């Protein structure tokens, strides 16, 4: 009997050893990039999600780049992944969208953003949805409608914040942007009397667990993330149903109106599920990433007075050039903000809000002596590109002047803060307008000082765990302000 037990035990041990060996040495019709697959199933997921406070290339990536080079293999959330910090390979991946690669995100992200989210759709459907979004957030809409609305919102909020003892900037700007975007998308305005209908609260719960270890157990950040999504989606679905039952009426031409028109068309390819997932992603992307970028920009400007000085001079020059000093920002003035654009580019280069961009190989691909097997995930790593010392001198320094003479109308091999290829972020122009207009309203009318918080943590996405608290005060005008500047100089 004991010999039978020993034999069974030996077989089990051999099977486990074989399984572990196969896991760590995956099959490939060629040569895989070097690297480690970590533990079976778990891979190196824990190391990838480990919090760090560095502004440099994430330790997970940096350590493996030193060991294996700019291209290496690993395993995250149960999937084999090729990580690329090589600008040439990254560019190739983006250019081959739909041919050799397609957009892909881990199953956990798909569960969070929805099976029909825009990041998981391909080909004609993706282009169709992209055009839907551009109708609302494209250049024409920005120029004619959104620019004045963004300025009005920024001025109103800044005037309010200046009356407060201090303001937590990340939360405050997120609320500001969400209010504007939700109004444009779904004509939603938060009513404090209906506390159960606070749509943004559900998004906040969603965000806290978005980039966390995907353990769906009650009490975990990931579980709360899924709960937040579920509640937000229910609210969006209820809103859409209410809008359907309303008689034909104007809502300022919001996105719900446009979606309902599309759903009514004969032979439409749009479904309610796709429309709701798209709405969810747009609401999330529009306020979370932009509020992080604005907060990070103000933190950097606070620490770099020379940059703030030149930025302020550019915006004060805009005011002085006007016939009517009280007139509103024009599109021509916005396009003249050359130094502001450099500040924005430098901010998003350093912020690295998106730590990884995922694709999936559609067939075996040979590149630079390595093979990317069919079906493997590929993670393009923007921080490794943006903080590359061979491209950016003193890469951790906040130096907007490094962008002098550089035209950035899209992505490049060395700059991919907004993605790349045919999936270059459709909200890029809207984000830049919001950042530029907010900075204009802030530096021309107010001054501020940091009073607390400001620490950053990456898990691996950027966050401000203790917020960033600033005290905002209105600038004095005329002679007083000139005297103050002379005294300071």
Q: What pLDDT score was predicted for residue 115? A: 58
Phi, psi values for residue 446, rounded to 5°: -140, 160
Structure confidence at residue 143 as a pLDDT band (50, 70, 90): confident
Judge contact between 156 and 441, C-beta under 8 A: no
pLDDT over threshold 70, residue 348: yes
Tokens for 95? 């250019």
Tokens for 82? 């090729």
Q: Could you tell me which residues are annotated as the binding site for heme?
A: 425
- Beta-strand ranges (E) seen in 226-381 are 357-361, 365-367, 370-372, 377-380
Q: What pLDDT score was predicted for residue 481? A: 46
Q: What is the mean pLDDT of residues 276-302?
A: 87
Q: Which of 30-39, 188-197, 240-249, 376-385 has the highest mean pLDDT?
A: 376-385
C-alpha gyration radius of the chain: 25
Q: What is the mean pLDDT of residues 115-142?
A: 67
> Residue ranges of the domains in the chain?
29-115+354-386
Q: How confident is the model over 403-453, as pLDDT tens digits?
A: 998 876 666 788 988 887 766 777 788 899 999 999 999 999 999 999 999
Q: Could you tell me which residues are annotated as the binding site?
A: 425
How far, CA to CA in Å, does 187 sit from each of 117, 125, 135, 190, 250? 22, 26, 16, 10, 10
Judge contact between 390 and 87, C-beta under 8 A: no
Tell which wins on pLDDT, 374 or 477.
374
User: How many CA atoms within 13 Å lie on the side-chain side of 24?
Assistant: 9
Distance CA 344, CA 274 (A): 32
Q: Which helix (H) or strand (E) holds 130?
A: helix 123-137
Distance CA 334, CA 338 (A): 9
Judge contact between 433 and 334, C-beta under 8 A: yes
Tokens for 36? 């480690």
Distance CA 129, CA 168 (A): 35
How far, CA to CA in Å, does 227 sit from each of 100, 104, 205, 224? 36, 23, 8, 5
Tell which wins on pLDDT, 103 or 198.
103
Structure confidence at residue 488 as a pLDDT band (50, 70, 90): very low
pLDDT over threshold 80, residue 362: yes
Distance CA 378, CA 82 (A): 5
Judge contact between 307 and 343, C-beta under 8 A: yes
Distance CA 427, CA 286 (A): 7
Structure confidence at residue 211 as a pLDDT band (50, 70, 90): low
Topology of the domain covering 29-115+354-386: 3.30.43
Report whether the peptide linkage leading into residue 26 is cis, meaning its omega lies within 30 degrees of zero: no
Of 181, 178, 229, which is closest to residue 200 (Cα–Cα)?
Answer: 178
How far, CA to CA in Å, does 483 sit from each of 258, 443, 476? 53, 18, 10
Distance CA 354, CA 460 (A): 9
Tokens for 459? 């898990």
Q: What pLDDT score was predicted for residue 304? A: 97
> Which three-class secondary structure state does DSSP give residue 51?
coil
Of 345, 334, 287, 286, which is closest to residue 437 (Cα–Cα)?
Answer: 334
Q: Which helix (H) or strand (E) holds 332?
A: helix 331-335
Tokens for 216? 């769906």
Q: What pLDDT score was predicted for residue 24? A: 66
Distance CA 91, CA 416 (A): 10
Of 117, 135, 139, which is closest to residue 126 (Cα–Cα)?
Answer: 117
Taking the CA atoms of 207, 211, 215 and 216 in sequence, report the sign of the dihedral they define: positive
Structure confidence at residue 128 as a pLDDT band (50, 70, 90): low
Taking the CA atoms of 478, 482, 483 and 485 in sequence, report the sign of the dihedral they define: positive
pTM over 0.75: yes
> Which three-class secondary structure state does DSSP give residue 363?
coil
Distance CA 143, CA 185 (A): 17
Q: What pLDDT score was predicted for residue 12? A: 66
Of 43, 155, 87, which is closest to residue 411 (Cα–Cα)?
Answer: 87
Judge contact between 300 and 307, C-beta under 8 A: yes
Structure confidence at residue 483 as a pLDDT band (50, 70, 90): very low
Mean pLDDT of the chain: 83
| Cα end-to-end distance, the chain, whole Å | 92
Of 361, 380, 417, 370, which is closest to residue 84 (Cα–Cα)?
Answer: 380
């Amino acid at each position: 009997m004991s010999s039978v037990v020993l034999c069974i035990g030996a077989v089990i041990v051999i099977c486990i050893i074989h399984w572990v060996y196969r896991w760590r040495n995956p099959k490939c019709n060629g040569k895989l990039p070097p690297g480690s697959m970590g533990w079976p199933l778990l891979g190196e997921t824990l190391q990838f999600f480990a919090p760090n406070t560095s502004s440099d290339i994430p330790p997970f990536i940096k350590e493996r780049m030193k060991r294996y080079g700019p291209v290496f293999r690993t395993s995250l959330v149960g999937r084999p992944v090729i990580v690329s910090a090589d600008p040439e390979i990254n560019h190739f991946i983006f250019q081959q969208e739909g041919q050799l690669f397609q957009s892909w995100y881990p199953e956990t992200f798909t569960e969070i953003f929805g099976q029909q989210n825009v990041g998981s759709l391909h080909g004609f459907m993706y282009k169709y949805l992209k055009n839907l979004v551009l109708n609302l957030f494209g250049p024409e809409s920005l120029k004619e409608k959104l620019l004045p609305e963004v300025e009005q919102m920024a001025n109103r909020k800044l005037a309010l914040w200046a009356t407060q003892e201090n303001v937590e900037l990340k939360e405050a700007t997120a609320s500001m942007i969400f209010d504007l975007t939700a109004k444009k998308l779904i004509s939603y305005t938060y009513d404090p009397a209906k506390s159960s209908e606070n749509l943004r609260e559900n998004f906040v719960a969603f965000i806290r667990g978005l980039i966390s270890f995907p353990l769906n157990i009650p009490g975990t950040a990931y579980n709360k993330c899924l709960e937040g999504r579920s509640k937000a989606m229910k609210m969006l679905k209820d809103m859409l149903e209410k809008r359907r039952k309303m008689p034909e009426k104007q809502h300022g031409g919001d996105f719900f109106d446009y979606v309902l028109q599309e759903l009514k068309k004969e032979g439409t390819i749009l479904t309610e599920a796709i429309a709701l997932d798209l709405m969810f992603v747009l609401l999330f992307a529009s306020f979370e990433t932009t509020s992080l970028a604005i907060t990070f920009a103000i933190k950097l400007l606070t620490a770099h007075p020379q940059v703030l000085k030149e930025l302020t001079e550019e915006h004060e020059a805009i005011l002085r050039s006007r016939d009517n000093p009280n007139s509103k920002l024009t599109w021509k003035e916005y396009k003249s903000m050359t130094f502001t654009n450099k500040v924005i580019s430098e901010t998003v280069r350093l912020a690295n809000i998106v730590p990884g961009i995922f694709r999936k190989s559609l067939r075996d691909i040979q590149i630079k002596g390595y093979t990317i097997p069919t079906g493997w995930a590929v993670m393009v790593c923007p921080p490794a590109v943006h903080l590359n010392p061979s491209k950016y001198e003193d890469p951790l320094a906040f130096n907007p002047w490094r962008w002098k003479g550089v035209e950035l109308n899209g992505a490049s091999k060395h700059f991919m803060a907004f993605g790349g290829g045919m999936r270059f972020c459709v909200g890029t122009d809207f984000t830049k307008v919001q950042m530029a207009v907010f900075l204009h309203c802030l530096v021309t009318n107010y001054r501020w000082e940091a009073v607390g918080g400001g620490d950053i943590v990456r898990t691996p996405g950027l966050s401000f765990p203790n917020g960033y608290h600033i005290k905002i005060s209105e600038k004095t005008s005329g002679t007083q302000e000139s005297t103050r500047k002379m005294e300071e100089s």
